[in-house]
Chain A
Amino acid sequence: MDVFLQALALSFTPMAIASIGLGALVGLVFGSIPGLTFTVALALALPITFSMDPVPAIGLLLGTYIGGMTGGSVSAILLGIPGTPSAAATVLDGYPMTKQGKASIALGTAVIVSVFGGLFSLFIMMVSVDLVSRLAIGFGPAEIFALVLFGMSTICGLCGNSLLKGLIAGALGLMIMTVGLDAIDGVPRMTFGSINLLQGVNLLVAMIGLFAVPFIIEAFSGRGSQDLQTTRVAKVRAELPSLKLLFGKFSLMLRCSVLGTGIGAIPGTGGAIASFLAYDHAKRFSKKPESFGKGNIEGVIAPEAANNSVTGGTLIPLLSLGIPGDPATAIVLAGLMIHGITPGPALFMNHAVEVYGMYVAVVLAYVWVLGLQLMGIRIFVHVLKIPREMLAVAVLVLCAIGAYSIRNSAFDIYAMGAIGVLAYVLVAVRIPITPIILGMVLGPTLENEFRTAMMLSEGSFDIFLTSPTFLVFFALALLVVSLQVAAELKLKKKTSERIEMTDA
């Protein structure tokens, strides 16, 4: 209780409340603009947090994440274009509702169920983070190695549309992080005598490059720009749904939130998969399945409850095991580490106050999102009218500020540019970015834990083979990969419609 009160005190400072609000606002804006995802917002917001205290800093990042997840529904409902891939399922019924003149109620319902889904998943997260970290407290290097290996295999398998390309991307990410001084022996690796390369590729620089630069290039090349200016954004406000409607759909909201939290907890999945599954679920259990796609409010409730409950789900493996499930949580992880908070089983022992502060920050972020969406939607739809190219110019300046401020070195700006162009090329040739970033985040852990384990066992593989936990996770990793291979071989005969599944 004492710890909780301390956490409350930390998160109710004016600075913390303001930074959570700023995060929620930035997230909502970035989330609602098609092409700019909340991952870009997070990458750009990260350098700002350096000078802050831990709780406001993490609050800013969480606010951005949560705001972005919610903001995607605005353009999905009003324009029929998902602001983020997570909101793609919301288009199916949200946009028809706008055409029928019911945009206000669709937006209001979307906000309410988003907040419900988010808070529900927060509750589940609070219980399970504690449980999972209690289980994981006994993990040694061999077990952590297996866990990271399992995380990597689900990420590579699930986030793209080809396992092979996912694995290739994962290997690329792992390779990039081996550049620089080796953490155990201090040997320079692949530095070619460059002093700048000795400390390796900076993770934050790489994140800004990977997510923001491809957006700039695409905006400048004049493609992919949906003519937003020509689409008239109707005059809207967010209208709260009646309590009767909410109570009537309560069981659907609950089921979709459970689904979203569960999907979110599996690394490599994410909002898009969860919201499509929830939409499908709602349609299957509906009394009037034929009305789906024609403006059924259930088709807005299901995906919005699910994609916001993903936010709590992804934080479970992140906080309890230190494994981020998607690029957004990888950036949150980087933010935590900058402030000396290392997620993992020991998190509660070392940083209980900050963790409870994070929980409070999530609640505050939802309060902000609710307020901003309900009050500010009329002002905020005008953001959708700003031309993409002008936003890209601003993003370019922000990228440079972000990359420069990390180490005050222009080398980082050059590196960001190079990585960004590489990312643009990789996206164009359909190699997913998510495994690269997660390979970069998890690579050093993977290597260090394996080498520590081998040192402990004096070179014998017994340390792995005698650990049941290792064997279970290793078997799970193999299972995920082989299931994915089987599914792809089956699918090869059919042509399938592709849906972009990441928020990268």
Chain B
Amino acid sequence: MTNRAQDIIVGTVLFLVGAGWTWLVIDSIPPGFGDGEVGPRAFPMAFGLILTVFSAILLMTRIATGAETALAEASEDQDIPNRLDWGSALLVLGQIVLYGFLLEKIGFLLATPVVVLLVMIVSLRVRSLRKLLGMSLGLTVGCWLIFEKLLGIYLANGTWLNVG
């Protein structure tokens, strides 16, 4: 995918986001009462419109310049765009969500080694037992000592199960 194609997709998505946002704002937020009262609706609506207009400009300029450069056959569009690794991104999101869920249910001291082990085995493909145990226990105990004991920051206690 070229930079141009990527920009066209980004422009389209943001245009739709902006338009959808503006519509939702108009639909759900009451306007001001007039007489100098700007009201809660004006700013979200204005920001939504700004996004819509700018992404439309992005979309149009990219379509237009694309046609020119196709003829010239040399431009910045030839750059290799950054590759998006959706798999890793969604995996990390899943791990973060799981971590948050486990923190509430079984508390920091149990959730952390579980998630660290999972991350290292699934995402990093670490198989060395020493590394796995060292990282999961080291991080858990280290963070617990520094945050909970030294700095007095509350780390989650579990609602299902509670240690420490």
Q: How far is the CB of A179 from chain B (nearest CB, A)?
A: 8
Given contacts A48-B151, A417-B93, A417-B97, contact A220 B124 (CB under 8 A): yes
Q: How far is the CB of B91 from chain A (nearest CB, A)?
A: 7
Q: How many residues of B contact A (CB 8 A)?
A: 74
Residues of B within 8 A of A175 (CB): 21, 44, 47-48, 51
In the bound complex, do residue A398 and residue B143 qualify as a contact, i.e. CB atoms below 8 Å apart? yes
- The 0/1 profile, CB within 8 Å of A marked 1, for residues 113-147 of chain B is 00110011001100000000001000100010001
Query: Looking at chain B's contact residues, is the secondary structure mostly helix, strand, loop, or mixed?
Result: helix
Residues of B within 8 A of A217 (CB): 85, 88-89, 92
In the bound complex, do residue B58 and residue A459 qualify as a contact, i.e. CB atoms below 8 Å apart? no
State which of A187, A389, A431, A460 has its C-beta within 8 Å of the C-beta of B10: A431
State which size class the interface on A falls in: 35 or more
* Nearest neighbor of A494 in chain B, beta-carbon distance: B76
In the bound complex, do residue A172 and residue B51 qualify as a contact, i.e. CB atoms below 8 Å apart? yes
When chains A and B are docked, how far (Å) is the Cα of A223 from the Cα of B84? Answer: 11
Q: How far is the CB of A385 from chain B (nearest CB, A)?
A: 15
Residues of B within 8 A of A184 (CB): 40
Given contacts A417-B93, A429-B10, contact A410 B100 (CB under 8 A): yes
Most buried by A among B24, B44, B154: B44
* Nearest neighbor of A181 in chain B, beta-carbon distance: B40
Most buried by B among A47, A418, A427, A454: A454
Does A466 belong to the interface (CB within 8 Å)?
no
Given contacts A408-B156, A414-B100, A428-B82, contact A168 B55 (CB under 8 A): yes
Residues of B within 8 A of A250 (CB): none
In the bound complex, do residue A51 and residue B119 qualify as a contact, i.e. CB atoms below 8 Å apart? no
Residues of B within 8 A of A174 (CB): 43, 47, 50
In the bound complex, do residue A389 and residue B124 qualify as a contact, i.e. CB atoms below 8 Å apart? yes
- The 0/1 profile, CB within 8 Å of B marked 1, for residues 391-423 of chain A is 001101111110011001011011011101100
In the bound complex, do residue B135 and residue A178 qualify as a contact, i.e. CB atoms below 8 Å apart? no
* Nearest neighbor of A390 in chain B, beta-carbon distance: B135
Residues of A within 8 A of B51 (CB): 168, 171-172, 175
Given contacts A220-B92, A495-B75, contact A447 B153 (CB under 8 A): no
Residues of B within 8 A of A102 (CB): none
* Nearest neighbor of A213 in chain B, beta-carbon distance: B92
Q: How far is the CB of B118 from chain A (nearest CB, A)?
A: 11
Q: What is the interface of chain B, defined by CB distance below 8 A to chain A?
A: 3, 6-7, 9-10, 14, 18, 21, 24-25, 28-30, 34-40, 42-44, 47-48, 50-51, 54-55, 57-58, 61, 65, 74-76, 81-85, 87-93, 95-97, 99-101, 103-104, 108, 112, 115-116, 119-120, 123-124, 135, 139, 143, 147, 151-156
Further pairs besides A389-B124, A428-B82: 14, Cβ < 8 Å:
A48-B147, A164-B58, A189-B44, A220-B88, A221-B88, A390-B135, A393-B119, A393-B135, A396-B95, A398-B143, A416-B96, A424-B89, A430-B81, A454-B37
The 5 A-B residue pairs whose C-beta atoms are closest, nearest first, are A459-B36, A413-B100, A417-B96, A221-B88, A182-B40
